[in-house]
Structure 1
Amino acid sequence: MTVLVTGAHGKVGRQVAELLTARGVPIRPGSRRAAVPLDWADPATWPAALDGVESVFLVVPGGDDGHRSVVGLGAGVCGFLDLARDAGVSRVVLMTALGMEYAPAEVEQRAVERHLQGCGVPWTVLRPNWFFQNLTEGPLRVLADAGAGVLRLPVADAAVSFIDTRDIAAVAVGALLDEDCGREYALTGPESLTLAAVAAACRPTGIPLTAYEPVTDSEFRATARALGWHPEYVDTLSTLFATIEQGLAAAVTPDTEKALGRRPRTLTDFIGDMSSA
Protein backbone atom coordinates (compact mmCIF):
# COMPACT_ATOMS: atom_id res chain seq x y z
CA MET A 1 0.00 0.00 0.00
CA THR A 2 1.11 3.57 -0.66
CA VAL A 3 0.24 6.20 1.94
CA LEU A 4 -0.08 9.86 1.01
CA VAL A 5 1.25 11.84 3.98
CA THR A 6 0.07 15.43 3.87
CA GLY A 7 1.99 17.93 5.96
CA ALA A 8 4.96 15.64 5.44
CA HIS A 9 7.40 18.34 6.53
CA GLY A 10 5.34 19.25 9.61
CA LYS A 11 5.85 18.23 13.20
CA VAL A 12 3.54 15.19 13.04
CA GLY A 13 3.63 14.41 9.33
CA ARG A 14 7.38 13.89 9.21
CA GLN A 15 7.14 11.51 12.17
CA VAL A 16 4.34 9.58 10.43
CA ALA A 17 6.47 9.35 7.28
CA GLU A 18 9.48 8.08 9.23
CA LEU A 19 7.49 5.44 11.10
CA LEU A 20 5.83 4.17 7.94
CA THR A 21 9.15 4.04 6.09
CA ALA A 22 10.70 2.11 8.99
CA ARG A 23 7.94 -0.46 8.57
CA GLY A 24 8.58 -0.75 4.85
CA VAL A 25 5.37 1.02 3.84
CA PRO A 26 5.76 3.16 0.69
CA ILE A 27 4.86 6.80 1.25
CA ARG A 28 4.19 9.79 -0.96
CA PRO A 29 4.96 13.11 0.72
CA GLY A 30 2.12 15.54 0.15
CA SER A 31 3.45 19.08 -0.16
CA ARG A 32 4.05 21.78 -2.76
CA ARG A 33 7.76 20.90 -2.74
CA ALA A 34 7.33 17.16 -3.27
CA ALA A 35 8.35 15.35 -6.46
CA VAL A 36 4.63 14.82 -7.06
CA PRO A 37 3.34 18.14 -5.70
CA LEU A 38 0.18 18.56 -3.67
CA ASP A 39 -0.89 22.19 -3.52
CA TRP A 40 -4.12 22.83 -1.63
CA ALA A 41 -4.58 26.05 -3.57
CA ASP A 42 -4.31 24.22 -6.93
CA PRO A 43 -6.82 21.37 -7.37
CA ALA A 44 -5.12 20.46 -10.64
CA THR A 45 -2.33 18.88 -8.57
CA TRP A 46 -4.64 16.60 -6.61
CA PRO A 47 -5.27 13.73 -9.09
CA ALA A 48 -1.55 12.99 -9.57
CA ALA A 49 -0.95 13.18 -5.81
CA LEU A 50 -3.69 10.57 -5.27
CA ASP A 51 -2.70 8.27 -8.14
CA GLY A 52 -1.97 4.80 -6.77
CA VAL A 53 -2.60 5.86 -3.18
CA GLU A 54 -4.52 3.51 -0.87
CA SER A 55 -4.48 5.50 2.38
CA VAL A 56 -4.09 9.15 3.38
CA PHE A 57 -2.81 10.83 6.51
CA LEU A 58 -4.58 14.16 6.26
CA VAL A 59 -3.80 17.41 8.04
CA VAL A 60 -6.05 20.36 7.23
CA PRO A 61 -3.75 23.16 6.03
CA GLY A 62 -3.41 26.04 8.44
CA GLY A 63 -0.91 28.52 9.83
CA ASP A 64 1.35 31.07 8.21
CA ASP A 65 4.19 30.21 5.85
CA GLY A 66 5.73 33.67 6.25
CA HIS A 67 4.32 35.03 3.01
CA ARG A 68 0.65 34.08 2.96
CA SER A 69 -1.94 32.77 5.35
CA VAL A 70 -3.06 29.23 4.61
CA VAL A 71 -6.06 29.70 6.83
CA GLY A 72 -9.05 29.37 4.51
CA LEU A 73 -7.58 26.72 2.20
CA GLY A 74 -9.22 24.00 4.27
CA ALA A 75 -12.52 24.55 2.48
CA GLY A 76 -11.08 22.78 -0.57
CA VAL A 77 -10.15 19.71 1.47
CA CYS A 78 -13.74 18.48 1.27
CA GLY A 79 -13.44 18.38 -2.51
CA PHE A 80 -10.13 16.56 -2.14
CA LEU A 81 -11.84 13.91 0.01
CA ASP A 82 -14.48 13.34 -2.66
CA LEU A 83 -11.73 12.97 -5.25
CA ALA A 84 -9.88 10.53 -2.96
CA ARG A 85 -13.02 8.43 -2.60
CA ASP A 86 -13.53 8.35 -6.37
CA ALA A 87 -9.85 7.44 -6.85
CA GLY A 88 -10.30 4.35 -4.67
CA VAL A 89 -8.63 5.50 -1.45
CA SER A 90 -9.60 2.96 1.20
CA ARG A 91 -8.73 4.85 4.39
CA VAL A 92 -8.22 8.39 5.66
CA VAL A 93 -6.72 9.24 9.03
CA LEU A 94 -7.54 12.88 9.71
CA MET A 95 -5.75 14.97 12.34
CA THR A 96 -7.56 18.04 13.66
CA ALA A 97 -7.45 19.38 17.23
CA LEU A 98 -8.66 18.55 20.70
CA GLY A 99 -12.32 19.43 21.22
CA MET A 100 -13.01 19.96 17.52
CA GLU A 101 -16.18 17.87 17.75
CA TYR A 102 -17.73 20.74 19.72
CA ALA A 103 -16.78 23.44 17.21
CA PRO A 104 -19.39 25.11 15.00
CA ALA A 105 -19.89 23.53 11.59
CA GLU A 106 -18.42 26.58 9.86
CA VAL A 107 -15.00 26.04 11.50
CA GLU A 108 -12.75 24.61 8.79
CA GLN A 109 -11.43 21.58 10.63
CA ARG A 110 -14.88 20.66 11.94
CA ALA A 111 -16.33 21.01 8.45
CA VAL A 112 -13.69 18.60 7.13
CA GLU A 113 -14.41 16.13 9.95
CA ARG A 114 -18.11 16.14 9.16
CA HIS A 115 -17.51 15.77 5.44
CA LEU A 116 -15.10 12.87 5.91
CA GLN A 117 -17.50 11.04 8.19
CA GLY A 118 -20.22 11.25 5.57
CA CYS A 119 -18.39 10.86 2.26
CA GLY A 120 -18.08 7.09 2.21
CA VAL A 121 -14.33 6.63 2.83
CA PRO A 122 -13.38 4.58 5.93
CA TRP A 123 -11.99 7.05 8.46
CA THR A 124 -10.28 7.67 11.77
CA VAL A 125 -10.15 11.10 13.42
CA LEU A 126 -7.30 12.14 15.72
CA ARG A 127 -7.79 15.23 17.88
CA PRO A 128 -4.51 16.03 19.69
CA ASN A 129 -3.83 18.73 22.23
CA TRP A 130 -0.94 21.25 21.98
CA PHE A 131 2.42 19.66 21.10
CA PHE A 132 5.53 19.72 23.29
CA GLN A 133 7.35 20.41 20.03
CA ASN A 134 5.65 23.82 19.80
CA LEU A 135 8.06 24.83 22.57
CA THR A 136 11.08 24.16 20.39
CA GLU A 137 10.03 24.64 16.76
CA GLY A 138 6.54 26.11 16.65
CA PRO A 139 4.73 29.35 17.48
CA LEU A 140 5.50 29.14 21.20
CA ARG A 141 9.23 28.98 20.40
CA VAL A 142 8.97 31.99 18.10
CA LEU A 143 7.11 33.97 20.75
CA ALA A 144 9.63 32.97 23.44
CA ASP A 145 12.50 34.03 21.18
CA ALA A 146 10.76 37.36 20.61
CA GLY A 147 10.65 37.79 24.39
CA ALA A 148 14.32 36.88 24.91
CA GLY A 149 13.30 33.58 26.49
CA VAL A 150 10.13 34.83 28.18
CA LEU A 151 6.95 33.35 26.73
CA ARG A 152 4.05 35.81 26.91
CA LEU A 153 0.53 34.60 26.10
CA PRO A 154 -3.00 35.73 26.96
CA VAL A 155 -3.38 32.82 29.39
CA ALA A 156 -3.25 33.14 33.18
CA ASP A 157 -2.99 29.97 35.25
CA ALA A 158 -4.94 27.48 33.11
CA ALA A 159 -3.23 24.18 32.37
CA VAL A 160 -2.55 22.21 29.18
CA SER A 161 -2.15 18.44 28.76
CA PHE A 162 0.64 18.76 26.17
CA ILE A 163 1.38 15.72 23.99
CA ASP A 164 4.51 14.62 22.13
CA THR A 165 4.20 14.53 18.34
CA ARG A 166 5.95 11.16 18.31
CA ASP A 167 3.04 9.70 20.26
CA ILE A 168 0.51 11.28 17.89
CA ALA A 169 2.38 9.83 14.92
CA ALA A 170 2.46 6.36 16.49
CA VAL A 171 -1.30 6.46 16.96
CA ALA A 172 -1.73 7.69 13.38
CA VAL A 173 0.38 4.87 11.94
CA GLY A 174 -1.54 2.32 13.98
CA ALA A 175 -4.77 3.71 12.57
CA LEU A 176 -3.43 3.67 9.01
CA LEU A 177 -2.39 0.03 9.27
CA ASP A 178 -5.25 -1.27 11.42
CA GLU A 179 -8.32 -2.79 9.79
CA ASP A 180 -10.64 -1.10 12.29
CA CYS A 181 -12.04 2.30 11.31
CA GLY A 182 -14.65 4.77 12.47
CA ARG A 183 -12.88 5.76 15.67
CA GLU A 184 -12.34 9.20 17.18
CA TYR A 185 -9.38 9.77 19.51
CA ALA A 186 -8.89 12.68 21.91
CA LEU A 187 -5.10 12.62 22.30
CA THR A 188 -3.35 14.20 25.28
CA GLY A 189 -0.26 13.68 27.33
CA PRO A 190 -0.40 12.05 30.78
CA GLU A 191 -0.28 15.25 32.83
CA SER A 192 -1.74 18.74 32.80
CA LEU A 193 0.68 21.62 33.39
CA THR A 194 0.42 25.38 33.59
CA LEU A 195 2.59 27.36 31.23
CA ALA A 196 4.49 28.71 34.22
CA ALA A 197 5.27 25.13 35.28
CA VAL A 198 6.39 24.27 31.75
CA ALA A 199 8.72 27.26 31.67
CA ALA A 200 10.15 26.35 35.08
CA ALA A 201 10.88 22.82 33.87
CA CYS A 202 12.55 24.11 30.69
CA ARG A 203 14.63 26.82 32.38
CA PRO A 204 17.63 24.64 33.43
CA THR A 205 17.73 22.81 30.09
CA GLY A 206 18.84 23.73 26.61
CA ILE A 207 15.30 24.68 25.61
CA PRO A 208 15.29 28.49 25.16
CA LEU A 209 12.33 29.11 27.47
CA THR A 210 13.25 30.75 30.76
CA ALA A 211 10.01 32.21 32.11
CA TYR A 212 6.32 32.73 31.48
CA GLU A 213 4.28 35.91 31.80
CA PRO A 214 0.57 36.28 31.07
CA VAL A 215 -0.39 39.25 28.90
CA THR A 216 -3.59 40.65 27.45
CA ASP A 217 -4.88 39.56 24.07
CA SER A 218 -4.07 43.03 22.74
CA GLU A 219 -0.46 42.71 23.90
CA PHE A 220 -0.15 39.28 22.28
CA ARG A 221 -1.56 40.65 19.03
CA ALA A 222 0.92 43.53 19.06
CA THR A 223 3.79 41.06 19.38
CA ALA A 224 2.36 38.92 16.56
CA ARG A 225 2.04 41.94 14.30
CA ALA A 226 5.65 42.85 15.00
CA LEU A 227 6.62 39.33 13.94
CA GLY A 228 4.82 39.85 10.65
CA TRP A 229 2.26 37.09 11.18
CA HIS A 230 -0.79 37.15 8.95
CA PRO A 231 -3.89 38.58 10.69
CA GLU A 232 -5.96 35.44 10.01
CA TYR A 233 -3.28 33.29 11.63
CA VAL A 234 -3.16 35.62 14.63
CA ASP A 235 -6.94 35.36 14.97
CA THR A 236 -6.68 31.57 14.96
CA LEU A 237 -4.00 31.57 17.65
CA SER A 238 -5.95 34.06 19.74
CA THR A 239 -8.96 31.72 19.64
CA LEU A 240 -6.80 28.76 20.64
CA PHE A 241 -5.30 30.64 23.56
CA ALA A 242 -8.81 31.58 24.67
CA THR A 243 -9.74 27.90 24.81
CA ILE A 244 -6.73 27.29 27.08
CA GLU A 245 -7.78 30.18 29.32
CA GLN A 246 -11.26 28.66 29.55
CA GLY A 247 -9.76 25.39 30.83
CA LEU A 248 -10.66 23.42 27.71
CA ALA A 249 -7.11 22.15 27.10
CA ALA A 250 -6.51 20.83 30.60
CA ALA A 251 -8.19 17.42 30.53
CA VAL A 252 -6.09 14.25 30.45
CA THR A 253 -7.81 11.58 28.37
CA PRO A 254 -7.12 7.80 28.30
CA ASP A 255 -7.15 7.53 24.50
CA THR A 256 -3.42 7.94 23.87
CA GLU A 257 -2.43 5.27 26.37
CA LYS A 258 -5.11 2.88 25.10
CA ALA A 259 -4.01 3.32 21.48
CA LEU A 260 -0.29 3.01 22.23
CA GLY A 261 -0.47 0.33 24.91
CA ARG A 262 1.88 2.42 27.06
CA ARG A 263 1.99 5.69 28.94
CA PRO A 264 2.44 8.74 26.70
CA ARG A 265 5.65 10.73 26.98
CA THR A 266 5.81 13.34 29.73
CA LEU A 267 7.40 16.79 29.66
CA THR A 268 10.35 15.28 31.54
CA ASP A 269 10.71 12.64 28.83
CA PHE A 270 10.57 15.29 26.10
CA ILE A 271 13.15 17.50 27.80
CA GLY A 272 15.44 14.51 28.39
CA ASP A 273 15.23 13.45 24.75
CA MET A 274 15.91 17.01 23.59
CA SER A 275 18.93 17.28 25.89
CA SER A 276 20.44 14.02 24.64
CA ALA A 277 19.75 14.70 20.94
Structure 2
Amino acid sequence: MLGGTGKIGRRVVRLLRERGVPVRVASRSGEQRFDWEDRSTWEPALRGARAVYLVYLPDLGSHDAAPRLREVSELAASQGAERLVFQSGGGWPEAAPAKEAVGMASAAWTILRPAWFSQNFSEDLFLEPLRHGEVRLPAAAAAR
Protein backbone atom coordinates (compact mmCIF):
# COMPACT_ATOMS: atom_id res chain seq x y z
CA MET A 1 0.00 0.00 0.00
CA LEU A 2 1.57 3.26 -1.14
CA GLY A 3 0.67 5.84 1.45
CA GLY A 4 -0.32 3.21 4.02
CA THR A 5 0.65 5.26 7.07
CA GLY A 6 -1.80 8.13 6.64
CA LYS A 7 -5.35 8.77 7.79
CA ILE A 8 -7.00 6.33 5.38
CA GLY A 9 -4.10 4.04 4.53
CA ARG A 10 -3.38 2.97 8.09
CA ARG A 11 -7.02 1.97 8.53
CA VAL A 12 -7.09 0.00 5.30
CA VAL A 13 -3.86 -1.76 6.36
CA ARG A 14 -5.34 -2.66 9.76
CA LEU A 15 -8.55 -4.04 8.22
CA LEU A 16 -6.65 -6.10 5.62
CA ARG A 17 -4.31 -7.54 8.25
CA GLU A 18 -7.28 -8.42 10.50
CA ARG A 19 -8.59 -10.48 7.57
CA GLY A 20 -5.26 -12.22 7.10
CA VAL A 21 -4.41 -10.43 3.84
CA PRO A 22 -0.66 -9.89 3.46
CA VAL A 23 0.08 -6.17 3.21
CA ARG A 24 3.31 -4.33 2.50
CA VAL A 25 3.16 -0.71 3.62
CA ALA A 26 5.18 1.67 1.49
CA SER A 27 5.61 5.34 2.26
CA ARG A 28 8.30 7.80 3.16
CA SER A 29 8.10 6.38 6.70
CA GLY A 30 6.61 2.92 6.07
CA GLU A 31 7.97 -0.61 6.34
CA GLN A 32 9.04 -0.26 2.71
CA ARG A 33 10.32 3.12 1.56
CA PHE A 34 8.36 4.83 -1.23
CA ASP A 35 8.88 8.49 -2.01
CA TRP A 36 7.20 10.27 -4.92
CA GLU A 37 10.29 12.45 -5.25
CA ASP A 38 12.72 9.52 -5.41
CA ARG A 39 11.97 7.21 -8.33
CA SER A 40 14.61 4.73 -7.11
CA THR A 41 12.17 3.77 -4.32
CA TRP A 42 9.30 2.93 -6.65
CA GLU A 43 10.31 -0.45 -8.09
CA PRO A 44 11.33 -2.06 -4.78
CA ALA A 45 8.04 -0.93 -3.23
CA LEU A 46 5.95 -2.30 -6.12
CA ARG A 47 7.86 -5.51 -6.81
CA GLY A 48 5.58 -8.55 -6.47
CA ALA A 49 2.46 -6.62 -5.44
CA ARG A 50 -0.75 -8.08 -6.88
CA ALA A 51 -2.79 -5.03 -5.90
CA VAL A 52 -1.71 -1.46 -5.18
CA TYR A 53 -3.60 1.13 -3.17
CA LEU A 54 -2.05 4.40 -4.22
CA VAL A 55 -2.46 7.67 -2.36
CA TYR A 56 -1.17 10.59 -4.39
CA LEU A 57 -0.05 13.46 -2.18
CA PRO A 58 2.02 15.79 -4.38
CA ASP A 59 0.29 18.70 -6.06
CA LEU A 60 -2.31 17.19 -8.40
CA GLY A 61 -2.41 20.42 -10.36
CA SER A 62 1.28 20.32 -11.21
CA HIS A 63 2.40 19.80 -14.79
CA ASP A 64 3.96 16.42 -13.97
CA ALA A 65 1.08 14.90 -11.96
CA ALA A 66 -0.41 12.86 -14.83
CA PRO A 67 2.95 11.64 -16.20
CA ARG A 68 4.13 10.70 -12.71
CA LEU A 69 0.91 8.80 -11.95
CA ARG A 70 1.07 7.12 -15.34
CA GLU A 71 4.68 6.08 -14.74
CA VAL A 72 4.06 4.54 -11.33
CA SER A 73 0.84 2.86 -12.56
CA GLU A 74 2.59 1.30 -15.55
CA LEU A 75 5.50 0.23 -13.34
CA ALA A 76 3.08 -1.42 -10.89
CA ALA A 77 1.39 -3.30 -13.75
CA SER A 78 4.75 -4.37 -15.17
CA GLN A 79 5.72 -5.70 -11.72
CA GLY A 80 2.61 -7.91 -11.63
CA ALA A 81 -0.10 -5.72 -10.12
CA GLU A 82 -3.51 -6.81 -11.36
CA ARG A 83 -5.50 -4.08 -9.57
CA LEU A 84 -4.75 -0.41 -8.92
CA VAL A 85 -6.80 1.65 -6.50
CA PHE A 86 -5.99 5.33 -6.66
CA GLN A 87 -7.10 7.78 -3.96
CA SER A 88 -7.10 11.43 -4.84
CA GLY A 89 -9.28 14.20 -3.50
CA GLY A 90 -12.98 14.59 -4.17
CA GLY A 91 -14.07 17.99 -5.32
CA TRP A 92 -10.57 18.88 -6.49
CA PRO A 93 -10.62 19.80 -10.19
CA GLU A 94 -6.87 19.25 -10.17
CA ALA A 95 -7.47 15.52 -9.57
CA ALA A 96 -8.65 15.12 -13.18
CA PRO A 97 -5.30 13.67 -14.40
CA ALA A 98 -5.90 10.61 -12.24
CA LYS A 99 -8.32 8.87 -14.62
CA GLU A 100 -6.10 9.42 -17.61
CA ALA A 101 -2.94 8.39 -15.79
CA VAL A 102 -4.16 5.32 -13.92
CA GLY A 103 -6.37 4.25 -16.83
CA MET A 104 -3.32 3.88 -19.04
CA ALA A 105 -1.94 0.96 -17.02
CA SER A 106 -2.66 -2.60 -18.11
CA ALA A 107 -4.38 -3.46 -14.83
CA ALA A 108 -7.92 -3.12 -13.52
CA TRP A 109 -8.30 0.18 -11.71
CA THR A 110 -10.55 2.15 -9.41
CA ILE A 111 -10.34 5.83 -8.54
CA LEU A 112 -11.57 7.05 -5.15
CA ARG A 113 -12.23 10.76 -4.72
CA PRO A 114 -13.47 11.13 -1.14
CA ALA A 115 -14.63 14.53 -0.03
CA TRP A 116 -15.15 13.91 3.71
CA PHE A 117 -13.86 11.45 6.25
CA SER A 118 -15.57 10.58 9.53
CA GLN A 119 -12.20 11.17 11.17
CA ASN A 120 -12.57 14.87 10.38
CA PHE A 121 -15.19 14.88 13.15
CA SER A 122 -13.66 12.37 15.56
CA GLU A 123 -9.97 13.25 15.59
CA ASP A 124 -9.19 16.13 13.33
CA LEU A 125 -10.54 19.26 11.73
CA PHE A 126 -13.97 19.48 13.37
CA LEU A 127 -13.33 17.73 16.69
CA GLU A 128 -12.91 20.85 18.84
CA PRO A 129 -15.84 22.76 17.30
CA LEU A 130 -17.99 19.64 17.73
CA ARG A 131 -16.98 19.40 21.40
CA HIS A 132 -18.08 23.00 21.81
CA GLY A 133 -21.46 22.22 20.23
CA GLU A 134 -21.17 23.97 16.90
CA VAL A 135 -19.61 23.14 13.55
CA ARG A 136 -19.82 25.89 10.95
CA LEU A 137 -19.59 25.05 7.26
CA PRO A 138 -19.82 27.34 4.22
CA ALA A 139 -23.06 25.85 2.90
CA ALA A 140 -26.06 28.06 2.19
CA ALA A 141 -28.59 25.24 2.68
CA ALA A 142 -27.04 23.81 5.87
CA ALA A 143 -29.31 23.15 8.85
CA ARG A 144 -29.27 25.79 11.59
Separation in 1 of the partners of 2:115 and 2:140? 14
State the superposition RMSD in angstroms. Answer: 2.7
The match for 1:50 among 38, 46, 49 is: 46
> Aligned letter for 1:97?
G
Cα distance in 2 between the residues matched to 1:213 and 1:85: 44
Distance 2:76 2:140 in 1: 37
Q: Deviations over 1:172-211 (max 9, x none)?
A: xxxxxxxxxxxxxxxxxxxxxxxxxxxxxx4xxxxx3432
Pairing partner for 2:113 from 121, 127, 143: 127
Cα deviation, residue 246, structure 1: 7.9
What's the TM-score once normalised by structure 2's chain length?
A: 0.79
**2:7 paired with 1:84:** no
Q: 1:209 to 1:121 in 2, by over 3 A?
A: farther
Q: Which has the larger radius of gyration?
A: 1
- Once superposed, which parts of structure 1, at least 4 consecutive aligned residues long, lie more than 6 Å away? none
Contact residue 5 and residue 30 of structure 2 kept, 8 A: no
CA separation of 1:77 and 1:213: change in aligned 2, threshold 3 A: same
Q: Provide the rounded CA distance (Å) in 1 between the counterparts of 2:23 and 2:72.
A: 18
Q: Using the TM superposition, give the Cα deviation of residue 245 of structure 1 relative to its aligned residue in structure 2, in angstroms.
A: 4.3
Q: Aligned partners of 2:56, 2:105: CA distance in 1, in Å?
A: 16
Distance 2:10 2:31 in 1: 16
Match of 1:71 in 2: 59
What residue ranges of structure 2 are gaps of 5+ in the alignment?
Answer: none
Find the aligned partners of 2:90 and 2:14 in 1 and give their Cα distance. 24
Aligned to 2:87: 95
Partner of 1:179: none
Structure 1 residue 99 displacement after superposition: 4.8
> Aligned partners of 2:45, 2:10: CA distance in 1, in Å?
17
Task: Please report how far the alpha carbon of residue 77 of structure 1 lies from its aligned counterpart in structure 2 after TM superposition.
Answer: 2.6
- Greater helix share, structure number: 1
Provide the C-alpha distance between the structure 2 equivalents of 1:28 and 1:44, rounded to a whole number of angstroms: 17
Does the C-alpha gap of structure 1 residues 136 and 122 become closer, same or farther in structure 2, counting only changes over 3 Å?
A: same
How much does 1:6 deviate? Answer: 2.0
Work out whether residues 95 and 126 of structure 1, in 8 Å CA contact, stay in contact via their aligned partners in 2.
yes
CA distance in 1, matches of 2:55, 2:85: 9
Q: Match for residue 18 of structure 1? A: 14
Q: Verify the 8 A CA contact 1:58 1:94 in the aligned structure 2.
A: yes
Pick closer, same or farther for the CA change 1:246–1:28 going to 2, 3 Å. farther
User: 2:89 & 2:59 partners in 1: Cα distance?
Assistant: 15
Structure 1: runs of 5 or more not aligned: 62-69, 151-201, 203-207, 215-243, 251-277
Q: Residue type of the partner of 2:21?
A: V
Contact preservation (8 Å) 1:78, 1:115: yes
